[in-house]
Amino acid sequence: MASRRPDLAQYPTGFTVLRIFQAVLNIIIIVVTSFTIHAVIIPGNCLLIITSSASLLISTWMAFAHLFSNRLFNYLVAVILDTILTIFWVISFAVLAAQTAVLWAHGTDYCENNKCPDNVKNVTSFYGYVFATCCGLGGLSLLSLSICRDIVLKTWKRVTCPRTQTFTPGCPLHSRHLPQNRTIGRAPFATATTLMSEPTVHSLFEPVTGTWQYIVSDPHSKSAVIIDPVLDYDPIKAAVSTASADAILKTIKENGLKIEMILETHAHADHLTAASYLQSALARSQGTKPLIGIGKLIRQVQNLFGERYGIDPKEYDTVFDKLWEDNDEFTIGTLTARAVHLPGHTPDHMGYHIGKNVFVGDSIFHVDIGSARADFPGGSAEAIFNSGRRLLALPEDTKIWVGHDYPPAGREAPVPFATVKEHKENNKHLKDGTREHEFIEMRKKRDESLAAPRLIHPSLQVNIRGGRLPDPNASGLKLVHLPVTGSSW
């Protein structure tokens, strides 16, 4: 079975079983309805057999695509087809139900008292029962289709809403909204209306790499920063695209924001950064070029991977405009922000403390996931533990906004933050009472079982360049290096 796309994995357990049930039900309807058509052709059974045949094809396609060939699945097509089928099922069910009622009530008497076509005179009360069966099966199919359509539509909204806009009724992933509660595992995650003394946070989820991107703005001046933006990358085509970054630009425009800085928490190994693309686009749209900032120890990371991949230092020496040290302060309009060194995942890793919010990148994750891996060069399980304890020493109402989310079983949608209090009580790796040596032993054992990130080589080579693609070679090609392992001869 092919590995599932992250967006398809958000379907609840049993969705594919429901699709298979729907396909089997449609086969039964086709067989029974064909028996009635053999006796008499009327609009009701004709509509039913056409609609059930179309439903069979579509249900089979969706079940197959969801189980075996994810690339064949398309949310928009699924929603449109399910909607059209629902309309046809309602019409078919209504027409057949009306004609079945007549046959049920009158049987052969109906044709004795009314002028019927010759073929209808063959209908007996027996066929009234058969038509009633078809009608009941049709109603059951309509119900299952409605459930499937509702599931597809809700899942599609969870996947697409954050990438298109921040505030949409019915979209569960936006950050600025009325108070409500959602649950991760046993921990309640409360969100609240933005306070004027606090920043406004727009969170956009990129589902392919499971990355949270943030726009943090001052509600008074509309000055803002972007944190950890994603440049889309197709490893099969070796091609970059900007849909995720363009969604950020759209949110900026819709809210009238001016971006002062683009902040990276670290040189990511699982996705490419859109920092350079956004810097260029914003320089054109707002007239000033936002600075790109990252932790000062990025120099260590750049030198290490620059040497490994054979990258000329001229391609990465000056790509970052601001190199943060621990506790450096900066302003976002009228707000004061602070850079926080959170080593462990990588040595250069920084967090950004803004009001009662801290954006922690890949240091700790949600309570039901725990912590980030520590096996990259310069990484340290001991340092991650200490960074985690530093974060959990903040006031309990501080919100910890994570860099990634990979919802485990039992939680459908990704969520951008939890409070310090919730982490202290429930974080599976770092909650209060966790001993350092136990965490280190657990983290090292878990990291040994993890494969390298899928996009590690293009990510590192682009990210140490600040999101710029490699300089073209003599043939005009922009190349990334891919290490090869195995025997040589």
Residues 6+ apart with CB under 8 A from 428: 367, 368, 369, 370
Least confident of 7-16, 37-46, 155-164: 155-164
Quote the pLDDT of residue 6.
46
- Return the pLDDT at 486: 83
pLDDT for the residue 156: 53
Backbone conformation region of residue 3, classed left if phi is above 0, alpha if psi is from -120 to 50, else beta:
beta
> Average pLDDT for residues 150-170, to the nearest whole number?
49
| C-beta separation of 327 from 342 below 8 A | no
Mark 428-447 as b/e (b = at least 16 C-beta within 10 Å): bbbbeebeeeebbebbeebe
Q: What percent of the chain has pLDDT over 90?
A: 53
pLDDT at 14: 60
Q: Nearest CA to 360 among 319, 403, 321?
A: 403
Q: SS3 of 352, please?
A: strand
Whether the pLDDT of residue 179 is over 90: the answer is no
Is the predicted pLDDT of residue 166 greater than 50, yes or no? no
Q: Convert the pLDDT of each residue in 317-367 to its tens digit.
A: 999 999 999 999 999 999 999 999 999 999 999 999 999 999 999 999 989
Q: What pLDDT shows up at residue 221? A: 93
Question: Which residue reads 């995650």 in tokens?
Answer: 189
Tens of pLDDT, residues 256-265: 999 999 999 9
Give the mean model confidence (pLDDT) for residues 291-296.
97
pLDDT of amino acid 172: 34
What does pLDDT average to over the chain? 80
**Which three-class secondary structure state does DSSP give residue 176?**
coil
Instruction: For residue 123, give the nearest of 45, 47, 49 by alpha carbon.
Output: 45
**Tokens representing 150?**
């509702």
DSSP 45-102: HHHHHHHHHHHHHHHHHHHHHHHT-GGG--HHHHHHHHHHHHHHHHHHHHHHHHHHHH
Mean pLDDT of 289-314: 95
∠ Cα 304 338 416 (to 5°): 80
Instruction: Transcribe 473-485 into DSSP letters.
Output: -TTS---------
Q: How far apart are CA 434 and CA 423, in angstroms?
A: 12
Buried b (16+ CB within 10 A) or exposed e, 226-248: bbbbbbbbeeeeeebebebbbbb
What pLDDT is stored for residue 95 in this prediction? 72
User: CATH class for domain 178-463?
Assistant: alpha beta
**Rounded Cα distance, 192 and 438, in Å:** 35
Give the confidence band of 163 by pLDDT, cuts at 50, 70, 90: very low
pLDDT of residue 141: 64
Domain spans of the chain, in order of start: 8-163, 178-463
Report the chain's terminal Cα–Cα distance, integer Å. Answer: 35
149 vs 224, higher pLDDT? 224
pLDDT at 73 over 80: no
Largest CA distance in the chain: 95
Rounded to whole angstroms, what are the CA distances from 35 to 89, 127, 134, 474?
Answer: 19, 10, 10, 72
The pLDDT of residue 281: 97
> Residues 438-463: pLDDT tens digits?
999 999 999 999 999 999 999 999 99
CA distances from 439 to 348, 368, 418, 425 (A): 21, 15, 21, 16
Q: Which two tokens stand for residue 211?
A: 């990355």
Task: Determine the pLDDT at residue 298.
Answer: 96
Alpha carbon dihedral 214, 215, 219, 224, in 10-degree steps, equals 140
Q: For residue 2, what is the DSSP state?
A: P
* pLDDT reported for residue 389: 93
Cα–Cα nearest to 248, from 211, 219, 218, 220: 211
For the record, the structure tokens of 335 come out as 């707000």
Q: pLDDT at residue 184 above 80?
A: no
pLDDT above 50: residue 223:
yes
Enumerate residues 6+ apart whose C-beta is below 8 A from 189.
181, 182, 183, 415, 417, 418, 422
pLDDT at 406 over 70: yes
Cβ proximity of 398 and 419 under 8 Å? yes
Q: Where does 104-159 show beta strands of DSSP type E?
A: none
Helix (H) or strand (E) holding 444: helix 436-448
What pLDDT is recorded for position 487?
A: 77
For residues 176 and 155, the model is more confident at 155
